[in-house]
Every structure is written in C-alpha cells, then in structure tokens.
Amino acid sequence: MLARAEKLLADLGETFWLVPMLMVLCSLIGAFTLVHIDQSNTVYLSNLQSWMYDGGATGARTLLGTVAGATIGVAGTVFSITIAALSLAAGQMGPRLLRNFTRDRGNQLTLGMLLGTFCYALVVLRSIRTEPEGGFVPHLSLSVGILLALACVAMLVYFVGHVAGRINVETVVELVSEDLRSAMRQLTVQDPQPKPPPGEYWIGSLPLKDLRRGYLQHLDEEGLATWAAKHRATIRLLIGPGDYVFPGATIALVNPPVDGAEAAIRNATALGATSSISSDLRFAVRQLVEVAVRALSPGINDPHTALSVLDRLGAALCDLVPLHLPSGVSIRGSQPVLVVPHVQYDQLLGTMFHMIRQSAGAQPAISIRMIEVMTQLASCERDASRLSALSHHADLVLADARRLIAARSDREDVERRHQLFALMVRAGPMGQFTEQVLPLPSDDDPPKVIAETVAFRSQR
C-alpha cells in the first residue's frame, strides 16, 4: 500500500490543476471571510478608512464586474499561450518534455491567480446592496479586490517573460539536467553495495506471474524485504523501477516457495502508464537524450543542442564518481531477502550514448565531442569497471566514425581524440606530459583499453 500512496502523491505533484484549484479555494475562503468582517463592522475597520475603497454600491459593482471580466479573459489568453508553448515544445524537443511545462509552478501560479481573483470578485459582488436593497458596500473586501487585480497585472507581466524563457532549448536542457542531478541524489548511495546471490542460488525457486501491465513506477523495497525476512524467503524481482510489466510474464522468483508472495509483491508495487523520475534514473536521462536525438534529426538539424546535452550528461556522470548505484540487494541479518534489478553503470552509459551515437551518423562534431566528454570523465574516474565501460563506448564511437565519416581529415580528428582518451585511461591526467602520444591506430587494429592499463593507472 505504501507504493500506491507514493504513486498517488507523485501523480498529484505532477498535475497541472492542483495548485490553481487550491488558489481558487483560498480565494473563496478569503472572500467569505472578508465579507463577514465587513458585515461585522468591527472597530479595526475605522482605522483603515483612509486606505480603503470609499465609493458607493453602483461603483463597487462596476469595479468588481470589470475585474471579474478582465481576469477571466486574461486567464483564457494565458491558457492559450500555454497550449501554444506546449505544442512548440512537443514539436522541437519531444512530447515527453511536456511534463516540465505542465508541472511548472510559474504557469500554475499565474493561472491560479487569475482564476482565484475572478472567483473572489464574484463572491464579493453578490454581497453588494444598493440603498433600496438594504445599503451594504464591503469596503475592505473591495480594497483587497483592487490589490488582487494589480497583482494579476504583475503576474501577467511575469508570465510572458517566464514562458519566453522556458521555451528556450538551453533552458529546457538545464531544467532536465537539474532533474537528473536531483534523481542522482535520491537514487544513489555513498557506501559500496552487497552483491546479489549467484545464479545457482535460485535453482528450485517458484516463478510468479503478474496479470497487470504498465511501467513499475514505485516499489516499496523496505516493506517487501521485511515481508520476505518474516517468512524466511528470498525474493528476486525480474523487473526493476522503470521497467515495463507484461501481462502474464514472470516478474519474480521466490526461494523457498511460500504462500502469499504474489500478493505481497502486488501490494509493494505500483504501475503506471509512464515511467517515473522519482524511481528510475534513466527517465531523466532519456529526456535529455530525446532532446539531442531530435536536434540531430534532418528536420531540425541543430547539432549545438546535441553538444549541450552531451556536456550535461558528462557533468552528471562526474557527479556520480564518488557515489554508488544501488545493487538492489536487501540484507536482513546476514541473509539476502530481496534482489531488485536496479540500473548499473554500463546500462546508464548505454542509455546516455547509444541513441546519440546512432543518430549522429556522419557528423564528426558529435563524435569528437562524445569522446572529449568521455576523456573528461576518465580524468576523474578511478573505478576499473567504469573505465572499461567508458572505453567500450569510446571504441563504438570510433568504429562508427571510421565507417560513416567520408572525409579522411575528419576521421583522423576522431581518431586523435580517441587516442587522447586511451592515454587518459592508461596514464591519467599527467599522461600527456609523461608519455609520448601513441601513433594513430590503423583500421585493422582499433585501440582497446584493457584491464592491464586500467590497473596500471590505478597504481599510479
């Protein structure tokens, strides 16, 4: 149940209507409260007479009618501008980035301010009475209404500048990279993680199927591990956060088989139509990659955006250097009770670089920048397995460049960058000063960064 509650809270946080609705409710409550204060004729109002509206009932009705009509009209304009911005963003940067606009607090506050002022004006308007009707003018409420109208003007000016800035591709890339950094802070750990049991441990396990479908958005690992420890069993999930659950497919193994495991897994998981950034590190990465891939498409042809995305991806991997990705192994006592497949470093690199490399094709600028980013990563990374994964992707970039780039000089530029990368992995940042640059590799002998060179660098 905890996973479903987390999913509900996350879904509410992503909705566009929640903040405007709360602001409308606050405006209604404030209107009723202020009208009641005006009706009570308290002594505090006499001290504020010089600051409050002092017109008659007819003028008050005209004023509030104007405020209500103007704010609802501007609210429609704001909504139209938002839809236009969403359409532009979907066409240039991808539909999956629309959530960055719909959950934007600036857009929500602007719409909520306009709608809240409209509702406030209507409630106060209904309380005004002319002399034949009883003669009542809520001076305090009208004064607050004027202030709200002025605040709406300020919010409209803010909104125009805000939207103009948000549809800028560099701003969008920076916002998504901030989401990636936030996800890394939440989904990484400081300490080394335990390793999962070997494959033979699961011989004789009971496979469990799930008839649901959708992406695994939230998983209550702590609750499921506690359940497994209580029943003296070990559960191995075959799907992790962000993975799609196919109906009828096996999603877990239980060793030894125990009753109630299927229900426990169902209660500890929450599925949705899309992946979630709160549990899947690859989700924010895919958003950045989508911007780069669309920028490299023939219809847009904006390599500078792709270069900017590569810089942000490299910075995120540098942030990851002192951190560890969770292995998904939960220990109770000295025994593993739950194994969840979390994304690992080589998978993360694949999500970051594969599609960009495949979309770059014969563009040497992208290939060069990819290797340069990997070189910067190699200058601060010390883990041998991570350096080996980086080397694999650098080799893939070089192989594609040799196969697809027609100009020899461009191919040699890529090869030189790869050579500097190999030197960085082997000898570290001081390698360019202490070792001779290796000769350019031939097509028959592509350079490979092997474990011995990684070990040599670690010793240095």
**Using one digit for the tens of pLDDT, what is the confidence trace for 268-307?**
998 888 887 777 888 889 888 988 998 888 878 889 989 9
Domain count, the chain: 2
Among residues 136, 152, 167, the one where a domain terminates is 167
Give pLDDT, residue 107: 84
Q: Is residue 320 part of a domain?
A: no
Give pLDDT, residue 77: 85
**In angstroms, rounded to a whole number, what is the distance separating the alpha carbons of residues 433 and 421?**
14
- Across residues 47-58, what is the average pLDDT? 68
Asked whether the whole model's pTM tops 0.85, one would answer: no
Q: Is residue 194 part of a domain?
A: no
Kindly state the percentage of the chain with pLDDT values over 70: 85
| Residue 3: pLDDT over 90 | no
Other beta carbons within 10 angstroms of residue 368's beta carbon come to 19
| Residue 452: pLDDT over 80 | no
Among residues 146, 167, 188, the one where a domain terminates is 167
Q: Is residue 90 part of a domain?
A: yes
Q: Is residue 38 part of a domain?
A: yes
Give pLDDT, residue 333: 82
| Residue 418: pLDDT over 80 | yes
- Across residues 15-25, what is the average pLDDT? 89
**In angstroms, rounded to a whole number, what is the distance separating the alpha carbons of residues 341 and 95?**
28
Q: Is residue 10 part of a domain?
A: yes
Q: Is residue 68 part of a domain?
A: yes
Give pLDDT, residue 454: 47
Q: Is residue 279 part of a domain?
A: no
Among residues 107, 139, 167, the one where a domain terminates is 167
Please give the residue range of the domain that contains residue 101. 2-167
Q: Is residue 150 part of a domain?
A: yes
- Across residues 155-181, what is the average pLDDT? 84
Give pLDDT, residue 191: 86
